[in-house]
């Protein structure tokens, strides 16, 4: 005879009743927090570095212009030439004026006064192309221009 009785302990089953609520809460959180990329960048650019940088405050009134060499596979005739991209297409100087004017007409009057054009250009972009873009922006009456850069790492 044994002095001690052996008891069989069973682990109670895991209650999964609240699991669907938890999954949907996490899914809803990520749907709210994340954002989708609006424009597929078709040019390759390395952001230049700077020291006296400030962040843009009102991003709803910002229009982006990408300048750089086309990515491989973008089916362009001149893959080595520097190109200007607005939204999802490559444009020339005259089309920049039309595009920026259309963007200004689309905005509310308050945003129109605060409209900033952000130029995201490659480090090796010739200054002549940037000057041409700036001249086009002057014709479109878009006088607030910012240049994208990253902080110099010390």
Q: Give residue-wise pLDDT tens across range 31-60.
A: 888 877 677 778 887 888 888 888 877 777
Give the C-alpha separation, 133 to 140, whole Å.
11
Tokens encoding 58: 């009102």
pLDDT of 135 strictly over 90: yes
pLDDT at 143 > cutoff 80: yes
Percent of the chain at pLDDT > 70 equals 91
Overall average pLDDT of the 127-140 stretch: 91
pLDDT at 132: 92
Mean of all residue pLDDT scores within the chain: 83
- Report pTM: 0.68
Of all residues in the chain, the percent with pLDDT exceeding 90 is: 15
- Tens of pLDDT, residues 63-105: 889 998 888 765 555 556 888 998 888 888 789 999 888 888 9
| Residue 133 reports pLDDT greater than 70 | yes
Q: Quote the tokens at residue 78.
A: 């001149």
Q: Cβ of 93: how many Cβ atoms within 10 Å?
A: 14
In whole angstroms, what is the distance from residue 102 CA to residue 3 CA?
91
Cα gap 131→123, rounded to integer Å: 15
Contacts of 146 (CB under 8 A, 6+ apart): 56, 116, 117, 118, 119
Higher pLDDT, 121 or 17: 121
CA distances, 35 to each of 30, 31, 32 (Å): 9, 8, 8
């Amino acid at each position: 005879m044994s002095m001690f009785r052996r008891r069989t302990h069973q682990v109670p089953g895991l209650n999964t009743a609240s699991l669907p609520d938890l999954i949907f809460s996490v899914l809803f959180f990520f749907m709210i927090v994340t954002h989708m990329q609006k424009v597929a960048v078709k040019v390759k650019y390395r952001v230049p570095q700077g020291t006296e940088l400030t962040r843009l405050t009102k991003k709803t009134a910002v229009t982006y212009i990408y300048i750089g060499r086309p990515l491989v596979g973008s089916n362009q005739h001149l893959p080595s030439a520097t190109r200007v991209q607005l939204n999802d297409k490559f444009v020339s100087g005259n089309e920049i004026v039309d595009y920026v004017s259309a963007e200004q007409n689309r905005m509310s009057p308050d945003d129109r006064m605060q409209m900033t054009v952000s130029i995201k250009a490659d480090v090796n972009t010739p200054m002549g192309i940037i000057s041409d873009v700036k001249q086009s922006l002057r014709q479109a009456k878009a006088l607030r221009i910012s240049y994208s850069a990253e902080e110099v790492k010390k």
